[in-house]
Amino acid sequence: MNRLFNKFLIICGIVVLGACKEDVELPDNLAGFTTATQGIDGEEATVQISLSRAADVAIPISIQLTPYLVTYDKEFVTEPAAVNNVLNVTIPAGQSGVSFKVKKKANVFLNGDETLTLKMTSVGSPVLTGNSTELKLSFAAITSTGSTLTLEGKTAESNYTNAVYADLSANTSTAVNRKSWNLGFYQGGQFRVILNPGYQSSAAPTAKTDIAAVTLADTTSVPNLDFAPGGEGTLALADSWDGDLTKTVFAEVSATEAQNKVYLVSFEGSKTKSKWFKVKVNRNGEGYKVQFARIGETTIQTVDIAKNADVNFTFLSLETGKTAEVEPRKVNWDIQWGYSTSNAGTVPPTPYWFQDFVLLNYAAGAEAAEVLESTVTYANYAEANIATTTFVKTRDAIGSKWRSTAPGTTAGIRKDRFYVIKDPLGNIYKLKFVSMGLAADGGERGKPVIEYKLVKKK
The conformational region for residue 364 under phi > 0 = left, psi -120 to 50 = alpha, else beta, is: alpha
Asked if 367 and 422 count as a contact pair (C-beta separation under 8 A), the reply is yes
Instruction: Give the CA-trace dihedral at 154, 156, 159, 165, to 10 degrees.
Output: -30
Which strand (E) or helix (H) includes residue 185?
A: strand 183-186
**Residue ranges of the chain that CATH labels 2.60.40.2030:** 30-142
What pLDDT score does 154 carry?
A: 92
Distance in angstroms (rounded) separating the CA atoms of residues 182 and 203: 11
The 10s digit of each residue's pLDDT in 79-111 is 999 999 999 999 999 988 999 999 999 988 888
Asked if 361 and 424 count as a contact pair (C-beta separation under 8 A), the reply is yes
Distance in angstroms (rounded) separating the CA atoms of residues 103 and 56: 31
Asked if 104 and 43 count as a contact pair (C-beta separation under 8 A), the reply is yes
What pLDDT score does 14 carry?
A: 46
DSSP one-letter code for 388: G
Is 256 in a helix, a strand, or coil? coil
User: 10 Å Cβ neighbour count for 34?
Assistant: 23
This prediction's pTM: 0.86
The dotted CATH code for 30-142 is: 2.60.40.2030
The 10s digit of each residue's pLDDT in 188-220 is 999 999 999 999 999 999 999 999 999 999 999
Strand order in the sheet with 97-104: 76-79, 97-104, 44-51, 30-33, 128-129
What pLDDT score does 292 carry?
A: 98
The conformational region for residue 146 under phi > 0 = left, psi -120 to 50 = alpha, else beta, is: left
Measuring CA to CA, how many Å separate 398 from each of 232, 351, 354, 369, 414?
24, 17, 13, 8, 12
Asked if 87 and 62 count as a contact pair (C-beta separation under 8 A), the reply is yes
What parts of the chain have a pLDDT lower than 70?
A: 1-24, 228-233, 408-409
Cα–Cα nearest to 356, from 167, 198, 176, 146: 198
Distance in angstroms (rounded) separating the CA atoms of residues 339 and 399: 11
